[in-house]
Amino acid sequence: MADFKFMNYENILLHKKDAIAYVTVNRPKVLNALNLATMEELRAAFIDIKDDASIRAAILTGSGEKAFVAGADISELAKHGAVSAKEYTHRGQSVLDLMENLGKPVIACINGFALGGGCELALACTLRLASETARLGQPEVKLGIMPGYGGSQRLPRLVGKGIANQLLLTGEMITAQEAHRIGLVNEVTSPAELIPRAEAIAQKIIANAPLAVQYTLEAVNQGMEMTQAEGLYLEAILFGICCATEDKTEGTTAFLQKRPAQFKGK
């Protein structure tokens, strides 16, 4: 277990229940804006989740009813010059890389504004669910800057170059329904159903073999950056590793015996 379990968070909440870790950005007075301290707490929380074998999925959301994460903390951002801003961006990108490659699914529950760094935070998650009241966008160009937490890279990979360019260059906000239409979010729910729906999806994933889930995530994430031939080679290797696990023996045996499988992540 990581030492971070006992860390006293000031800007986020971390709660664990039924194999799910709930991470909530908790700065409602500034619409959950991301400052450096918040990013470092997110890093600590996700290292904890990665290292905790009892946790099989994570749900990420924002506190209050107005915002998931409304963006970066502009008062902090305004102070950066070229050198410090490059370092600031690298540090933030490494937190999102940790989330994206956690080996466990991270479900973003977008409960309000997800703008700039907030939209980028959601893009790094495995799945994105949005409340009907959510609004998403990358408005950085309106501030004389550009996305710095992966928005220029993950957004085109998710929704395609043309639509990504429209969002990135206009900086305009879109509704949850439009985000669903373009493939930016997986589903749109009522505000009350947002977390329960994420929990239902998480439980479906948790019922499956942990290593199979981990290797599938790895195949998708790494394969996106490869040629198809390279991706197929990676898939074959990871498939082979799956076939050497106790879970594969249990899963196939349970299927043949017509009983539920009891996976152990081994």
Instruction: Per-residue pLDDT tens, the chain, 266 aa: give them.
Output: 343 444 689 999 999 999 999 999 999 999 999 999 999 999 999 999 999 999 999 999 999 999 999 998 888 888 888 999 899 899 999 999 999 999 999 999 999 999 999 999 999 999 999 999 999 999 999 999 999 999 999 999 999 999 999 999 999 999 999 999 999 999 999 999 999 999 999 999 999 999 999 999 999 999 999 999 999 999 999 999 999 999 999 999 999 999 999 999 99
**Torsion 172-112-17-259 (CA) sign:** negative
Q: How confident is the model at residue 140, as a pLDDT? A: 95
**The two three-digit tokens of residue 147, written as one number:** 């996305």
Q: Residue 179 contacts by C-beta under 8 Å, 6 or more apart in sequence? A: 130, 134, 136, 185, 188
What is the reported pLDDT for 161?
98
What angle, rounded to 10 degrees, do the helices at 210-223 and 228-242 form? 170
pLDDT of 5 reads: 47
Tens-place pLDDT, residues 147-180: 999 999 999 999 999 999 999 999 999 999 999 9
Q: Could you confirm whether 120 is annotated as catalytic?
A: yes
Measured distance CA(248)–CA(212) in Å, rounded: 9
Angle between helices 246-256 and 210-223 (to 10 degrees): 110
Q: Is 235 among the residues known to form the active site? A: no
The span from the CA of 48 to the CA of 11, in Å, is: 16
Active-site residue among 120, 187, 225, 235?
120
Find tokens 């000031």 and name the residue: 10
C-alpha–C-alpha distance, residues 50 and 89, integer Å: 23
User: What pLDDT does residue 4 have?
Assistant: 41
Residue 1: the pLDDT is: 35
pLDDT for the residue numbered 37 = 94
Residues near 119 by Cβ (< 8 Å), separated by ≥ 6? 136, 137, 138, 151, 155
Q: Measured between alpha carbons, how far is 121 from 68 in angstroms, rounded to an integer?
A: 10
DSSP-assigned states of every residue in 167-204:
HHHH---EEHHHHHHTTSSSEEE-GGGHHHHHHHHHHH
Tell me which of 140, 199, 218, 250 is the catalytic residue: 140
Q: Residue 7: what pLDDT?
A: 64
